[in-house]
Amino acid sequence: MLMKDLVAAFTGHLREAMEIGSNARLTKSDHPIRNVLITGLGGSGIGGSIIAQLTDKSMPVPLLVNKDYFLPAFVDRHTLVIVSSYSGNTEETLQAMDAALAKGAKITCVSSGGKIAALAKEKGLDLVSIPGGMPPRACFGYSFTQLPYILQFHGLIGDGFRQDLNDTISLLDQEEQHIQKEARSIAESLVGKLPIIYCEARYEGVAVRFRQQINENSKMLCWHNVLPEMNHNELVGWTEAHPEAVVLMFRCEDDYFRTQKRMEISRDVVRKHGAGYIEMAAKGRTQLQRSLYLLHLGDWISWYIAEIKEIDATEVRVIDFLKNELSKM
């Protein structure tokens, strides 16, 4: 399936994922859950970053995201470790899973198969199976959606996310034509440029996802930063002309009022030094709706750039090369 078709199928993925989450067979931990760790990388791991920001005001225990071979020292039998690997063969995630097993953590896996699914079945671990055969980054809707279901099962969040997800699906379906039109326009402004993504700190996970999609689908370098942090360092970098750059600023109605002012001042600094500047305004009543709106808009932008450049958005030959070289060790 073409990447364009996979991006267009996003709300369909969300609907199917909700059905999978509702029917998942999970088991309670033998020990009280005192912290949560989501381990995964790339398209499989970014959902953890986003759910961490969506739940940080409501979770009664800490939730951290791990994107490495190794686990933090705090992981023990009181830790819920969610292992997220779309392929089921991500070597860093497999090693982290082995460490979680050794530490006696409560483990739940989200995967389409591979070694992780096989190990989960062998060890009698909770396993949420999602459809396979697609690029991991195109299956965000499947992997991300399982996370609130798992957290809710363990009593760490309420069940309000279900209606929120349904409302998000309705919003995206309603706005689909507008999203694609805006995405095409923004994409035309980014070809041959260096995209720089800025947003309020609470939406950093979405900015990272956008950056990753620009990297993989559009085959371009890109970076991101968040406010107010970038006002304490990166803003000083805007003291020279940068006509090669285009700043993409996420704007959300729940951005903190002082951060909104920072965005306006930062905008003026950027424009003064010759960079392009585009605001991406989120729609939606909740942080989840705004996050997935911006995420879907970003996915379309990355695909339209690939179309304009006449390149294959799906191929990732350089990553295949990396994996092949690592396999020789």
To the query of whether residue 182 is one of the catalytic residues in this protein, the response is no
Backbone angles phi, psi at 97, to 5 degrees: -65, -40
Q: What is the DSSP string of 24-72?
A: ------SS---EEEEE--HHHHHHHHHHHHHHTTT-SS-EEEE-SSS--
Residue that has been written with the tokens 């585009």 in this structure: 278
Q: Which of 160, 139, 135 is nearest to 47 (CA)?
A: 139
Could you give the CA distance from residue 24 to residue 10 in angstroms, rounded to a whole number? 21
In sign, the C-alpha dihedral spanning 72, 291, 42, 77 is positive
Out of 216, 224, 242, 296, the active site residue is 216
* Angle at 13 (CA atoms; ends 122, 307), nearest 5 degrees: 115
To the query of whether residue 323 is one of the catalytic residues in this protein, the response is yes
Structure tokens at 325: 């070289």
Beta strands in the chain (DSSP E): 35-39, 63-66, 79-85, 106-111, 126-129, 194-200, 223-227, 245-251, 276-281
Could you give the CA distance from residue 64 to residue 70 in angstroms, rounded to a whole number? 13
Structure tokens at 256: 């903190």
Give the CA count within 13 Å in the CB-facing half-sphere of 257: 0
Residue that has been written with the tokens 């969040």 in this structure: 157
Out of 57, 122, 232, 328, the active site residue is 232
Structure tokens at 326: 């690592």
Q: H or E stretch including 3?
A: helix 3-8
Structure tokens at 260: 């909104």
To the query of whether residue 78 is one of the catalytic residues in this protein, the response is no
Residue that has been written with the tokens 């530490």 in this structure: 103
Just list the catalytic residues.
Answer: 216, 232, 323
